[in-house]
Chains A and B, each alone.
Chain A
Amino acid sequence: MLEAVSARDIAVSGMRVQRVRMTVSANNIANINTTRTASGGAFRRQLAVLKGSQIRPNMEAEKFGVRVKRVESDPSPLRTVFQPGHPDADADGYVAYPNIDLATEMVDLVSAQRAYEANIAVLASDRRMNQKALEIIQA
């Protein structure tokens, strides 16, 4: 129901989701050369899958805004480098490195930041509208 949800709640959900995107990107960057993980194999790039709904009449409050549906691994191939002496080298002497590209991660970071700032603008706009409404009383 549109009355139970405010633009403020929707903007906050957006801000939280952008922080998660940033966390995932930061983790990717930190692990850019991680050749070994607990589950075996090299670290794989991760990305956050977001989920939202088109607004419909009589929609439940939880469906407004955006949420992280899941964090999944990028299935694209890992980078293989020929390093026979490396402890994680396979039988042919190739080491698998993460499929993480700094340029892509930086773009994701900036995109998350811009989206975060846009959500803050929504919050500020909501606040200004409420303040304007208060001026009716003061007139």
Chain B
Amino acid sequence: MGAFAGVDAVTVLRQGLRVAQMNHRVIANNVANVETPNYNSVSLDFQKTLRAAIEGRDRVSLRKTQDRHLDGARELPEFEHLAILSKNDYNKVDLDTEMAKLSENTGKYMLYSSLVVKHFQQVKNLLNNIR
């Protein structure tokens, strides 16, 4: 059986919404600190966090789930560090990446909330038709 055996759609969606909200806060914090000297950008591994939240594995707190590194496939090639280093203050926030992550995360949030609405509409239809 699949990875989500025994878990209903509403749980997945609710946890997805929570993780998306958390991720939003992480990204917003990075963007707010774009000019802070010595600040390292923080990123959240969405899939890992979502899985942990669905399985109810320990309280999903920001401290436990943050990764300082994006996954290996998205490692910055060597010269692209120039754009960040030119800030001269050891700040590591790449605004372009943060904005793109923000856009993706917002899309996920809207998707999950639309699916939740759809789910409850279906439940309502079902209840209406039973009568």
Partner of B100, one of A12, A48, A67: A12
Mask: chain B, 76-119; 1 = CB below 8 Å from A; 0 = not:
11011011001000000010110110011001001100110110
Is A62 a contact of B79 with CB atoms below 8 Å? no
Please indicate the chain B residues that have their CB under 8 angstroms from the CB of A24 in the complex: 82
The minimal Cβ–Cβ distance linking B68 to chain A, given in whole angstroms, is 19
Q: What separation, in Å, do the CA atoms of A123 and B101 have in the docked complex?
A: 11
Tell me which residues from 23 to 43 in chain A have a Cβ below 8 Å from any Cβ of chain B.
23-24, 26-27
Summed over the interface, the residue pairs from A and B with CB atoms below 8 Å come to a total of: 61
Q: Is the C-beta of B3 less than 8 angstroms from some C-beta in chain A? A: no
Complex contact B114–A70 (CB within 8 A):
no
Contact with A19, one of B77, B96, B103, B110 (Cβ below 8 angstroms): B96
Indicate which residue in A8, A16, A123, A127 contacts B83 across the interface (CB closer than 8 Å).
A16
B-side binding surface: helix, strand, loop or mixed? helix
> What per-residue 1/0 map shows which CB atoms of A61-97 lie under 8 Å from chain B?
1100001111100000000000000000000000000
Q: Are A134 and B111 in contact, with the CB atoms below 8 A? A: yes
Residues of A within 8 A of B86 (CB): 23, 26-27
A116 nearest in chain B by CB position: B96
Query: What are the 3 closest A-B residue pairs judged by CB atoms, nearest first?
Result: A68-B79, A19-B83, A15-B96
List of A residues within 8 angstroms of B117 by Cβ: 138
Name the CB-closest residue of A to B103: A127
Identify 13 residue pairs between A and B in the complex whose beta-carbon atoms are under 8 Å apart, listed by A's number: A9-B74, A16-B94, A16-B96, A19-B96, A20-B79, A23-B83, A69-B79, A70-B79, A71-B79, A127-B103, A127-B107, A137-B115, A137-B118
Q: How far is the CB of A2 from chain B (nearest CB, A)?
A: 15
**Size class of the contact patch on chain B:** 20 to 34
Q: Is B130 in the interface zone, CB < 8 Å from A?
A: no
**In whole Å, how far is B48's beta carbon from the nearest beta carbon of chain A?**
18
Given A24-B82, A131-B110, A8-B77 contact (CB < 8 Å): no
Judge whether A11 is part of the interface by a CB distance below 8 angstroms: yes
Q: Does B1 contact A (CB under 8 A)?
A: no
Residue in A closest to B96 when the chains form the complex, CB atoms: A15
Contacts of A62 in B (CB 8 A): 73
How many Å lie between the Cα of A137 and that of B116 in the bound state?
A: 10
- A130 interfacial by beta-carbon distance below 8 Å: yes
Chain B: minimal CB distance from A9 (Å): 8
A12-B96 in contact (CB<8A): yes
Q: Across the interface, which residues of A come within 8 angstroms of B103, CB to CB? A: 8, 123, 127
Q: How far is the CB of A1 from chain B (nearest CB, A)?
A: 12
